Structure 1
Amino acid sequence: MIDSKTTVTQGVIAVSIVAFSALGWQPLAIAGTAVMASNEARVSTNVKAEAPIELMHIHGLSYSADGKQILIPSHNGIAVYAQGRWSTMAGPKHDYMGFSATRDALYSSGHPAPGSDAVNPFGLIKSNDGGKTWEKLSLEGESDFHTLATSYGTNAIYVFNHQANSRMKAIGIYFTESDGMTWNRIAANGLKTKVNSLAAHPNDAKILAVGAGDGLYLSRDGGNHFEQIIDRKQVLAQWFDLDGKRLWFSNYAGGPALSLIRLTGDARAEQIQIPIDADDAIAYIAQNPIWLKELAIATFKRSVYVSHDQGATWTQIAKAGATL
Structure 2
Amino acid sequence: MAFALLTACGDAAVTLMHVHGLAYSPDGQRLSIPSHHGLAIYGARRWSKAPGPEHDYMGYAVTRRAIYSSGHPAQGSGLTNPFGVIKSTDGGGSWEQLGLQGEADFHLLASGFDNGALYVFTDRPNSRMSSPGLYFSLNDGVDWQRAAAQGLSEAPVALAVHPTDSKVVALATSTGLHLSRDAGEQFQALNLGEQALGIAFSLDGTSLWFGSYGNGAKLSRLELSTGQVSPLSVPELQKDAVAYLAQNPTQPQEWAMATFKRDVYVSKDGGKSWSVIAKAGQTLK
Q: TM-score band, normalised by the shorter chain?
A: over 0.9
Choose which of 202, 224, 240 in structure 2 pairs with 1:241. Answer: 202
1:16-55 aligned at under 5 Å gives the runs 46-55=7-16
**How far apart, in 2, do the equivalents of 1:174 and 1:160 lie?**
6
Out of 278, 284, 287, the residue aligned to residue 238 of structure 2 is 278
Preserved CA contact (<8 Å) 1:216 1:232: no
Count of aligned pairs between the two proteins:
281
Residues 73, 82 of structure 2: 8 Å contact kept: yes
Q: 2:254 aligns with which of 291, 294, 297?
A: 294
Between the aligned partners of 1:319 and 1:276, the Cα distance in structure 2 is 12
- 1:316 matched to 2:276: yes
SS at match of 2:9: strand
1:210-242 Cα shifts (integer Å, max 9, x gaps): 101110011111111111121132101111100
Match of 2:171 among 198, 202, 210: 210
Alignment of 1:139-150 (within 5 A): 139-150=100-111
User: Retained in 2: the 8 A contact 1:198–1:208?
Assistant: yes
Q: 1:177 aligns with which of 118, 138, 142?
A: 138
Distance 1:273 1:87 in 2: 28
Matched residues in 2 for 1:276 and 1:171: separation? 37
Does the Cα contact within 8 Å between 1:197 and 1:212 map onto a contact in 2? yes
Greater RCO between the two (CA within 8 Å, min separation 6)?
1
Identity of aligned pairs, percent?
A: 50
Report the CA distance between 1:49 and its aligned residue: 2.0
CA positional deviation for 1:183: 0.3
Q: Is the 8 A contact 2:6 2:51 kept in 1?
A: no
Note the residue ranges of structure 2 that are not aligned, 5 or more in a row: none
Q: CA RMSD in A?
A: 1.3
**Letter of the 2:40 counterpart:** A
Q: What's 1:127 paired with?
A: 88
CA contact (8 A) 2:243 2:258 kept: yes
CA-CA distance at 1:57 after TM superposition:
1.1
The answer to whether the 8 Å contact 1:122/1:141 transfers is yes
8 Å Cα contact 1:190/1:225 also seen in 2: yes
Q: CA deviation at 1:45?
A: 6.1
**Deviation at 1:254?**
1.4
Query: 32, 38, 52: which is aligned to 1:71?
Result: 32
Q: Which residue of 2 aligns with 1:57?
A: 18
State the AA in 2 paired with 1:100. Answer: A
Q: How far, CA to CA, are the matches of 1:213 and 1:106 in structure 2? A: 28
Is the contact between residue 97 and residue 109 of structure 1 (CA under 8 Å) also seen in structure 2? yes
The alignment's TM-score, normalised by the length of structure 1, stands at: 0.85
**Partner secondary structure for residue 237 of structure 1:** strand
Offset of residue 153 of structure 1: 0.5
- Cα distance, 1:111 vs structure 2: 0.4
> Do the aligned partners of 1:75 and 1:95 also contact (CA within 8 Å) in 2?
yes
Q: Which consecutive segments of 4 or more residues in structure 1 shift more than 6 A?
A: none
User: In 1, are the aligned partners of 2:6 and 2:93 still within 8 Å (CA)?
Assistant: no
- Amino acid in structure 1 at the alignment position of 2:50: M
**Residue in 2 aligned with 1:223?**
184
Match of 1:30 in 2: none
Are the counterparts in 2 of residues 49 and 86 from structure 1 also a CA contact under 8 Å?
A: no
Structure-2-length-normalised TM-score: 0.96
Tell me which of 39, 42, 48 is aligned to 1:81: 42
Contact 1:232 1:251 (C-alpha < 8 Å) held by counterparts:
no
2:256 aligned partner, one-letter code: A
The 8 Å contact of residues 18 and 281 in structure 2, kept in 1 or not, is answered as no
* Correspondence 1:195 to 2:156: yes
Q: How many angstroms apart in 2 are the aligned matches of 1:235 and 1:222?
A: 20
Determine which of 91, 96, 102 is the counterpart of 2:52. Answer: 91
In structure 1, stretches of 5+ residues that fail to align are 1-43
Q: Residue 184 of structure 1 aligns to which amino acid in structure 2?
A: Q
Match of 2:266 in 1: 306
Cα distance in 2 for residues equivalent to 1:45 and 1:181? 27
- Inter-partner Cα distance in structure 1 for 2:170 and 2:276: 28
Q: Residue 204 of structure 1 aligns to a residue in which SS?
A: coil
Q: Which amino acid aligns with 1:218?
A: L
Task: Name 1:101's counterpart in structure 2.
Answer: 62
